[in-house]
Amino acid sequence: MQTWIDTLIVFAAELRRALRSPRVLLVLFLYLAFAGVAMLGAGWLARQSQAQLIAQGQSMEALSSPKAGFLAMFFRPDRALIESLVDIPAAVLVVFVLGRFFLSVYVALLGFDTVSAELQTRSLRYLGVRTSRTALALGKGLALATLVLILVTLVHLGAFGDALVSVPEFSLADAARAWPRLWGTTVLLGLAMAALTTLCSTLTRSPALALTLNLAVLFALWVAGIVSDGARMMRLVPGRESEASWQEHLGLLVPSTWSTEALYPDAARSLPAALVLLGFALLFTAGAVATLRTRDL
């Protein structure tokens, strides 16, 4: 019980610290601005294409084909998945895709020093004699996760709000159906990345090294994801169908692969994927707690 009380005390102090940190505020602003520009750009392009089609006397359905190609490229060439996404406005999908590719880097920039900076200056010693290291790791990780939750929610609110205003076919009911899949998946992916960042921050006394390590892990995950996607695509080539190779199985270790799985409309497929994403978050958090508990302060 005491550990949970202390976790909340550390969480409150860490969140207050983060919301007063110029660097954290700048990173939050940059992500919001980045997402905002991409969202507005995608919305403008979609409206231009729509206007051109109408001017040429073509039906709206003609727009679905290039959009499906875009979705297949950024998600997965799978009919069930594409069909479930194709009616969602481009601005909303762009925000989701940005989250999949860039959120992890922003999370690393937000939290790489959350523990490592206090190990470097040894200021963690003032806390370590007063509470358990479990409470310290959990409180700091929770504060970072909360920042990610706020960021993802703000970006998705903006994207859904813009889509509701600018795309007449996108109703409130459509938004309510799409919101849990897109927002929920991004939040789970963000939580896993926040936990990974906290873990990297506990592994070293140097904030610069913690950031480098974090980015290296993200790069390795990105490469593993590309190798896995490439192997999957090769299997789709007619005449080359075979059993899934080990390269394709590499994707099982990559959280963003599971974030694609979590988007499927079929709950039997998306819920386990969401649980795996949650599992990544818990695994990395457990790693951070174990590292901080065993290391010298």
Partner 1 sequence: MNGAALVLEQVSKRFGERRALETVTLSVPEGTVWGLIGPNGAGKSTTFNLLCGYLRPSAGTVRVLGLDPRRPGVLKGRVGVLPQDAALPSYLAVGPLLSYLARLSGLERPERAARVALEQVALPDVWDVPPSSLSHGMARRVSIAQALMGDPPVILLDEPTAGLDPRIAVEVRHLVKGMRGRATVLVSSHNLPELEALCDGAAILDRGALVQAGTMRELTARGAEFRIQVAAGNVPLEGIRALPGVAEASLQPDGLLRVTVRPEDGTPETILNATLRALLDAGVQVSGVSQGQSLEARVLAVT
13 or 86: CB nearest partner 1: 13
Specify the amino acid at residue 285: T
CB 152 within 8 A of CB 192: no
- Shortest distance, position 42 Cβ to partner 1, whole Å: 38
Instruction: State the alpha helices, DSSP H only, in the chain.
Output: 2-20, 22-55, 64-74, 79-85, 90-111, 116-120, 124-128, 133-166, 172-203, 207-236, 246-249, 255-261, 267-294
241 or 296: CB nearest partner 1: 296
> Terminus-to-terminus CA distance in the chain, angstroms?
24
Q: Which residue ranges make up the site for partner 1 (CB under 8 A)?
A: 2-3, 6, 9-10, 13, 16-17, 20-21, 118, 121-123, 125-135, 293-294, 296-297
Q: For residues 116 and 273, what is the distance between their CA atoms, to the nearest angstrom? A: 31
Q: For residues 286 and 292, what is the distance between their CA atoms, to the nearest angstrom? A: 10
- Shortest distance, position 116 Cβ to partner 1, whole Å: 14
Q: For residues 33 and 250, what is the distance between their CA atoms, to the nearest angstrom? A: 33
12 or 60: CB nearest partner 1: 12
Q: For residues 287 and 297, what is the distance between their CA atoms, to the nearest angstrom? A: 17
CB 205 within 8 A of CB 120: yes
- Shortest distance, position 16 Cβ to partner 1, whole Å: 8
State CA 244 to chain mean position distance.
26
Neighbour-count burial for 79-115, b at 16+ CB within 10 Å, e otherwise: eebbebbeebbbbbbbbbbbbbeebbbbbbbbbbbbb
3 or 64: CB nearest partner 1: 3
21 or 49: CB nearest partner 1: 21
- Shortest distance, position 10 Cβ to partner 1, whole Å: 7
Decide: residue 231, CB within 10 A, 0-12 exposed, 13-18 middle, 19+ buried: middle
243 or 296: CB nearest partner 1: 296
- Shortest distance, position 125 Cβ to partner 1, whole Å: 5
- Shortest distance, position 20 Cβ to partner 1, whole Å: 7
- Shortest distance, position 212 Cβ to partner 1, whole Å: 23
135 or 274: CB nearest partner 1: 135
